[in-house]
A and B are shown apart, each in its own frame.
Chain A
Amino acid sequence: MSTTITMPQLGETVTEGTVAQWLKKVGDSIEKYESFVEVTTDKVNAEVPSPVSGVLTQIIAQEGETVPTGAPIAVIEEVGAAPAPQPTTSPSEALAAPLAAAVAPTPAPASSNGHSNGASRNGGVVNAPDILRRVSPAVRRLAREHQVDLVSVRGTGQNGRITANDVLASSSQGPSAAMATSILAAPQPAPAAPAAPVAPAAPSPAAAPAAHKPSYNAPVPGETIPLTQARKIIAQRMLESKHTAPHAWTMVEVDVSGLWKWRNAEKERFQRDRGYPLTLLPFFVYAAVQALKAYPLMNARFTDEGILVHRDINVGLAVALDSNLIVPVIRDAAQYSISGLAVAAGKLIERARSGKLGADDLSGGTFTVNNTGANGSIMSAPIINGGQAGIVTMEAVVKRPIVTKDDAIAIRSIMNVCLSLDHRVVDGSIASAFLVDLKKRLEAMAPGGTL
């Protein structure tokens, strides 16, 4: 079957175009979507992609020739098809159909352009930038964030418009073909197997005629680091949390001088007797659990039906691995003493680092503690673990001059504790009361306490 290619309409007010250069000779084979001719008008210069795969059998409009939009300029014989006796059958339909299928039914805005033969007003040339021109800001943003190739999304909105929900539905079906190449560069066919692993920007056939400069000033691409499954999940969870939970943030300074001394006095014996290090973490988790008991609204989740206050206190511990972040959970943390928490946390962290955590270890958290101080941070604004009311950080313990109650200046060990809270669940008053309660419990810790 042969397909007649017509002069595309390269703008709403454009009525004719000039063949600037044939990128293919008669007899050359052409891949679908491959640019095969360069066309200029008084407004734009553009390379025209082929609507079909085949062999260029006839050039009708010669280089330098100006023809009206919709006029035939070439004939392509489709691969494997028997030569058709009449090469003039419905050129515009043949052009439009395969592309329309690839880009979802997004019709061009209505406009009268004087063509009454039913030809697509783009002369059959529909490419990715055309789609982008018509998508809503939300669709464009979501496509970028979820790495969704819009060319592969089927629109369910009015007149086949791609809606924000279409993008989200498409993204939950699995990663689509590398978006950067298809949206920002030449159009690509819709990915045949959406779940196939993404190769880092394999050169597409459309990129073949490399001798030609692109007609736009794109930035020189750098290296794209492929997303690991873990990175994708982290990205998705962080985004979900930030999008659904309105985060508020607050911080207190805690004088941990007493706690610091106590822990230093006990740590060697503890390591020797129990086999796990005695860090500040179990002290902190212990105090946090007591504060959560006093302020149960901080141990809750927001649902549309109401605020679900958890009976159990399951504390997630954010653990940074080399290229991953996981949050193993100490279940029913209220049952443990400080030393019990030290052992439980020690075991979890050990198993996390050796990759031996099971799904049970990672689920069911109701509140999260993040030991950001381990990396030297003194202040951080953590993102809430989805479905929880808050997350607290333990920042680095630093020695600071402090004005004491009796107006003397003393050197004390100070730790900042930061809290991000889901403002749908609690307001600042409760969150602050919780944080101050936690601070008081930490400041009350001193050598001689019960481990």
Chain B
Amino acid sequence: MAVASTETTTLNNVEAVRQTLYEALKSDPRTLVLGEDVGARGNVFLITKGFIEEFGAERVIDTPLAEASIVGIAIGMAMEGLRPIAEIQFADFIYPAFNQIVGEAAKTRYRSNGDYTCPLVIRTPYGGGIRGALSHSVSIEALFYHVPGLKIVAPSFPADIKGLLNAAIEDPDPVLFLEHKKTYRSVKGEVPTGHYTIPIGKADVKKAGTQLTVVSYGLYVHQALDAAQQLEAEGHSVEVIDLRSIRPMDRTTILESVRKTRKLLIIHEDNKFGGIGAEISAMVVEDAFFDLDAPIRRLCGPDVPAMGYALTLEEEFMIPTSRMAEAMRDLVAF
């Protein structure tokens, strides 16, 4: 990570996204944002508030409610030399754009034999726990991580958001940039001022430990860290890895950690079956089988069609910190 300055400011996750987008628009005339309500309304979370006044309607484009068009238009712009940053208002609405993302953007470089690249960023808020019900709660990463040619990042600390969003904007290929909406204003942190990037594909050990490796990303990293602190108070040492990037995935960091602790707990909000945790498990069993001292355990979203609106249903879907701590205790004692 090339940090330009040791000076920092305290930002929440919304402010980190906002500041990074603002600096990109300010410093690189090829960049532009487009999406539903990003202009006059300044985005539903006020991320782009004031942008249209400062940068104009040609670089801050309000689009119709047509996700396939948002991504399709952005692909064209990207292939012709611009650096579009498209927004899907909620990840739940990304499905109409699936063909554009998977069928077009991810394959542009391959199909053109390298003549064209598609330097496109698609930002979208995802995740639940905010009473968002069926159409404002979904996690979409597992639907896309099967696709070669597409990068997926899901940072959840403000400093990581800035570094990875800069890296995504500068990346020559399409990047799906996931922002967990429950962390938008609940997570604050120090962010270096000035321009810097964090390499896509590099996980971060948020807490070092020796008895158990916990791999997570998004909102749950924060809860996993809280749970690991509880375990620490009980005299147990738990390592917490924030994946940050889902694809490419940082095999080295995960394998090194599991070889050290010999036990692995994977926590994610997305559904369990065929989820990110399934790939991590397979990778660890393939490459570190003889280092495992316990069965790999996954704490994931239940395999139900959606997150219900009723508080009881939402609570049933979201994993509380206490359950994470319990799973950690079980594995440490195993």
Residues in chain A within 8 A of chain B (CB atoms): 136-141, 157-158, 161, 163-164, 243, 246, 304
Q: Report how far A304 CA is from B289 CA in the complex, Å.
A: 26
Taking A243-B259, A246-B256, A304-B208 as contacts, is the C-beta distance between A137 and B291 under 8 angstroms?
Answer: yes
User: Are B291 and A138 within 8 A (Cβ)?
Assistant: yes
Q: How far is the CB of B319 from chain A (nearest CB, A)?
A: 22
Q: How far is the CB of B293 from chain A (nearest CB, A)?
A: 4
User: Are A158 and B334 within 8 A (Cβ)?
Assistant: yes
The answer to whether B123 has its CB under 8 Å from any CB of chain A is no
Taking A164-B262, A243-B259, A246-B256 as contacts, is the C-beta distance between A137 and B290 under 8 angstroms?
Answer: yes
Chain B residue with Cβ nearest A162: B293
Taking A164-B262, A243-B259, A246-B256 as contacts, is the C-beta distance between A138 and B334 under 8 angstroms?
Answer: no
Q: Which of B287-334 contact A (CB under 8 A)?
A: 289-294, 330, 333-334
Chain B residue with Cβ nearest A424: B256
Chain A residue with Cβ nearest B295: A136
Kindly identify which residue among A136, A161, A243, A246 contacts B292, using a CB–CB cutoff of 8 Å.
A136
User: Are A157 and B333 within 8 A (Cβ)?
Assistant: yes
Interface of A (DSSP majority class)? helix
Q: How far is the CB of A174 from chain B (nearest CB, A)?
A: 22
Q: Report how far A141 CA is from B208 CA in the complex, Å.
A: 25
Q: Which residues of A contact B290 (CB under 8 A)?
A: 137-138, 140-141
* A138, A139, A304 — most chain B CB neighbours (10 Å): A138
Q: Which residues of B contact A246 (CB under 8 A)?
A: 256
Chain B residue with Cβ nearest A157: B334
Q: Which residues of B contact A164 (CB under 8 A)?
A: 262, 293
Q: Which residues of A contact B208 (CB under 8 A)?
A: 304
Interface contacts beyond A137-B293, A138-B262, A161-B334: sample of 11 additional A-B pairs, CB < 8 Å, sorted by A: A136-B293, A136-B294, A138-B290, A138-B293, A139-B293, A140-B290, A141-B291, A163-B293, A243-B259, A246-B256, A304-B208
Q: Report how far A137 CA is from B208 CA in the complex, Å.
A: 24
Chain B residue with Cβ nearest A167: B293
User: Are A137 and B292 within 8 A (Cβ)?
Assistant: yes
Q: How far is the CB of A146 from chain B (nearest CB, A)?
A: 14
Q: How far is the CB of A316 from chain B (nearest CB, A)?
A: 26
18 A-B pairs with C-beta separation under 8 A: A136-B262, A136-B294, A137-B289, A137-B290, A137-B291, A137-B293, A138-B290, A138-B293, A139-B293, A140-B290, A141-B290, A141-B291, A157-B333, A158-B333, A163-B293, A164-B262, A246-B256, A304-B208
